[in-house]
Structure 1
Amino acid sequence: MSIKSMTGFARAEGTHEGATWHWEARSVNGRGLDIRLRLPSGNEPLEPRVREAVGRHITRGSVSITLAVERSDGGVEIHLNERALQQVMHAADRVRDLTNATPPRVDGLIAIKGVLDIVEPQENQELAAARGEAMLKSLDGALVALVAARSAEGARLAATLAAQLDEIERLVAIVQASPARSREAIEQRLKEQVRRLVDTGNGFDPARLHQEAVLLATRADVEEELQRLGSHIGAARELISEPGAVGRKLDFLAQEFNREANTLCSKASDVEITRAGLALKTVIDQLREQVQNIE
């Protein structure tokens, strides 16, 4: 079984020259490949290569990539702007003279914008580039782990789909073998329906009677629907074992399953066939739900 789910989670960590980081990669089902990134300030140059890396590993799903970075030096420097502080103190003294207010607290003073400057130190470009490469290497590890998680979930999905296809095959066999589909049973129902038509149609036109009989016979025959359902079962089993992204193909096939089941139910003229047809629709709906999670 080689299908992959679109649901998975992975995490990878790394360290380089005083910086530590971790990547988190998670994915859920989606119509196409939707990549959402959360990179800390200063790491924006990595974005194109992160997207490229995701595209190498994953073809479908909504993928969220988050990077968290810590640096041993704190990553920033805090500078006291003494000139701004003196101006604030002068203004505070003037306010106190005018209003008899209490002296300002230190924490209030440093909270005033401009008193403290947060400065990101200039970093050696070669060091930054080397750290970026190390980050991307660990991201690749996270993506490999994410694909493995999606594959493991895909194996569980494949087992579920196989069981559902077995149940569809069983229900198709019930309809196929139903005594209500025998020639004698169909003829008996046709005779009864024609008799009712004749009884209710005073001077019924023989040509019209023939047309109605042909229509009834056509509606009683579900052989084409059964043949197509059998073909769809075989195609679905092949897709489950096929390498690559097959989710869209399976989704289309599930719609075809549903179409044939609807037609079979509309043609059913026997309680047993109707019951099997409704059970068939239920299993097919469950199959369609599972298929939505396949890459």
Structure 2
Amino acid sequence: MSRLKKIAGAVMVLAGAGVVAGWVLSAPAKVDPQLVVDSGDPAKGERIFYAGGCTSCHAKPGSKDAARLELSGGLALKTPFGTFFAPNISQDKENGIGAWSPADFASAMLMGVSPSGEHLYPAFPYASYARMKPADIADLFAFMKTLPAVSGKAGEHALEFPFNIRRGIGLWKRLYLSGDPVIALAQSAPEAVLAGRYLVEGPGHCGECHTPRNFAGGSDKAQWLAGAPAAEGKGIVPNITSGEGGVGDWSEADIANYLETGFTPDFDSVGGAMVEVQKNMAELAPEDRAAIAAYLKAIPPHPNGYPARQPAAN
């Protein structure tokens, strides 16, 4: 009996140590104050705003024209982990981010941590934004300060256990949150390719939809931009590498034109969730769209990263 008590005691000690270690490792961490830029340029921030596609999720669903800049949130993202609602990020001080400081904004963008010190769910693509330059984040914040305040709170996330435990996101971040580039490029790489890497991997967060995910919801970087099952429904997000099923037959000019006009080389038109993305890409300067195209043609090709569609039953 004494031996059993010792074993049980040892198990309890190990379990307790595991709980403490998990608690420490999962603690939210705000951005290093040295990375916070207190003031930005709103004119430059407008470029980052459209590169990041902020309106796609945070404008009221169905908004058009000037109403797309009223960032009241509300879009429902139905995923295997539960339903997430894009929050109000307008300048409303009660329901939006009007009371946030530059440090609050930088912590959310780079670290996925709210002003109150809670982990944000990675449905907000900070795993990509973590690769952004602090100066660009300051510029984006300055531009967002010019947008209207809109009252009203978006819906509450609807998640089942254990995904409703925010503290666990801290462990997820240790696996998947990194500011390092996904694709290693030589410093001698063409300037356009380097610029495209920043736009695609950082503010553009293209990998969040176009890359397959593992069971934990982390991006499978070995299949970077190879296409993936859509987070919602039974559709697919296409392969945008030059691999089989991707954009290998497209030229850089074809890709840049698609981002500007929404038309493919075969004169098909953009559809699905990409409609809103393309609207944002059309707001960028031609050299930005050309840089994105140069990067997509330079990265490693992959075959489609999603299961083949099954033929319909007769």
TM-score calculated relative to the size of structure 1 = 0.22
Task: Say which one has the larger Rg.
Answer: 1
TM-score calculated relative to the size of structure 2 = 0.21
Q: Which of structures 1 and 2 has the larger relative contact order (alpha carbons within 8 angstroms, sep 6+)?
A: 1
Larger fraction in helix: 1
Larger fraction in strand: 1
